[in-house]
Structure 1
């Protein structure tokens, strides 16, 4: 295994050098999403994190879907949006607390976010039922296997018991319908709303650490149709292809236009299959592209006519306030149709973003707002945990692997 890890470290170094070279030629100054899913070990059915492509965990038996965990990508150094608050300054290296630390008491409820001052603000349009927590994940495996660990109570109550998204990162046209149906039917039986993340777009992650996906767009269109066949008839939230729009600058003009057309078709197919499905398109995050640029790209990708809004901050750390402000600017750039809203990944943004360039399990981070569809914020439909806290970006543990130290640090940060 040490040889494999060494090879991965070498590969990550090469990838980092390629990204540094790309950044020197890039016009954008904002940070990229620390996200994307690849064929890595991780959750059997919920989101996670990592940095490179480790081997997938063996497929589970029964009806539960095999869902690999999303690795993270290094963020290029960037300046945040001028309207976003400054990032927090974490310590220089990730150094989670030791296992002997005494669990602290549960945190007090977070103060409510300032209400939007926009006139005529509407209530969130998305479903208001409780979100679904899939019963199989790495963090739950750890909780069950470590009943005597002093960190267990904190990790269980603050992470394992929270609902999280379910990623589908394999191109598996023969199996995807059943895997999606297994989640949606279980959620419906529980009276809960699942959050699903289809992640199989061709040229995923621009060939980086999370490369993979369908072999071409025609195959992807078929895969999405099969995905949609498993949605059922209950309420469901679909986070459609993280990075697919914000990272599309790596594609040629023709390939980018073809991708956008495919995403527009995907949104229509998903919503037609289940009229209660809410489909959200990729808007990057507040430290990456400008809201105007993202609105233009989203319009080309059919977000207005084929979707229910946008998602931001997937696997990243920007504050909820900064993301809400950014999301509203993106929606305004789309013309502000009243049916469009936004969902924000709050899984690790409790203390805001780390210093520029610190992306791999950065120290000083904390859990963000608990997942909910009752945000009380105009145009913000939900706070979601799309990346599961505690699954490593590749520093506190192997990429995609659950780290109790990291999870505990986030839960007590």
Structure 2
């Protein structure tokens, strides 16, 4: 009997054996994909509720507003503006110029400790992409290898704060600018590095989504789709460092979501209280702070946040200092109806 079985085995056609091998390989590939999906699902299942209306983000004691409020040389209006802004929950921007590779872990850990003490959500903007801002006012960033290490350290520090909810605004302008400098493929690769290093339980990542007066929804949706990252993030951040009306951004968020399978969004309302100044985006005059974070939201827009810190310059334009530098006169103007 054993001999007959062996003889039958010898008579199995090679084509059948080849098909069997293919089936095994396909099964392995499918199994790997299933495991990957299960891991992504696990992150989402174990995480607490995503950001929503009434989300309170941390007030950082080392914000530039806080530093200005403690400094000397300002007049009474400048000091009052800095003090008022220093008390507002605002996203903290991580840049390699201020928080380099060997210091960024400690910075994130300190911010997480503040969030824990305040029973608040930690919100950070990660802003160190290679060829950042395409050489414009906020030019800089890291080389690809350094960027991988820097974002990995940020991710490790965020993961260490497992009891704190984290919002990550990942590389403002990076995707919306891709069609005018570099390539979406290169930028998507860098962003993939960052997402892989940062994502984790209770960490809600929002990619750059531009704003309603920049790319039409179909065009922006195409750029976002081309990154290949939409299944690994919560959604997009809109109006970051810009001045568009909140209602226009809600409409834009819904248009993007309709094209991208229900993608979510957060909206920056830090400086849109007076709406846009035409097409001017770099330190336009006459602007005001907007609605506090956590005021608005719906089934697509998780909530609004203060992402761009009011009082920090957009760049050396319209009388402003270098991008990201504290500008006392702008702080006074933005808060003129609040103090």
The reply to whether TM is greater than 0.5 is yes
Counterpart position of 1:271: 199
CA–CA separation in structure 1 for the residues paired with 2:104 and 2:326: 25
Counterpart position of 1:61: none
1:177 aligns with one of 85, 98, 105: 105
Q: Which has the higher contact order (CA 8 A, sep 6+)?
A: 1
CA–CA separation in structure 2 for the residues paired with 1:155 and 1:185: 23
Deviations 1:200-231 (A, max 9, x none): 11111112232221212x43223221210010
Say which one has the larger Rg: 2
CA–CA separation in structure 1 for the residues paired with 2:179 and 2:115: 36
Conserved 8 A contact 1:265-1:306: no
- After TM superposition, the structure 1 = structure 2 runs for residues 80-159 of structure 1, keeping only pairs within 5 Å, are 125-126=50-51, 129-145=55-71, 149-150=76-77, 152-153=79-80, 156-157=83-84, 159=85
Worse-superposed segment, 302-311 or 279-288: 302-311
CA–CA separation in structure 2 for the residues paired with 1:182 and 1:245: 29
1:148 Cα offset (Å): 7.6
CA shift in 2, pair 1:129/1:320, >3 Å: closer
1:330 Cα offset (Å): 1.0
Pairwise CA RMSD: 2.4
CA shift in 2, pair 1:403/1:226, >3 Å: closer
SS at match of 1:347: coil
- Work out the number of aligned pairs and report it: 279
Deviations 1:359-399 (A, max 9, x none): 33222211111122x52433111212221112233344422
Task: Name stretches of at least 5 consecutive residues in structure 1 with no aligned partner.
Answer: 1-123
Deviations 1:229-260 (A, max 9, x none): 010212010000111111012345xx531321
Structure number with the higher helix fraction is 2
SS at match of 2:255: helix
1:227 and 2:148 are equivalent in the alignment: no
Conserved 8 A contact 2:207-2:235: yes
CA–CA separation in structure 2 for the residues paired with 1:148 and 1:258: 46
1:353 aligns with one of 246, 257, 276: 276
- After TM superposition, the structure 1 = structure 2 runs for residues 230-245 of structure 1, keeping only pairs within 5 Å, are 230-231=157-158, 232-233=161-162, 234-245=164-175
- After TM superposition, the structure 1 = structure 2 runs for residues 1-400 of structure 1, keeping only pairs within 5 Å, are 125-126=50-51, 129-145=55-71, 149-150=76-77, 152-153=79-80, 156-157=83-84, 159-170=85-96, 172-216=100-144, 218-231=145-158, 232-233=161-162, 234-252=164-182, 255-272=183-200, 275-336=201-262, 340-356=263-279, 358-372=280-294, 374-393=295-314, 394=316, 395-399=318-322, 400=324
1:279 Cα offset (Å): 0.2
Conserved 8 A contact 1:313-1:345: yes
Conserved 8 A contact 2:176-2:209: yes
CA shift in 2, pair 1:200/1:376, >3 Å: closer
SS at match of 1:250: coil
Worse-superposed segment, 326-335 or 391-400: 391-400
Task: Name stretches of at least 5 consecutive residues in structure 2 with no aligned partner.
Answer: 1-48
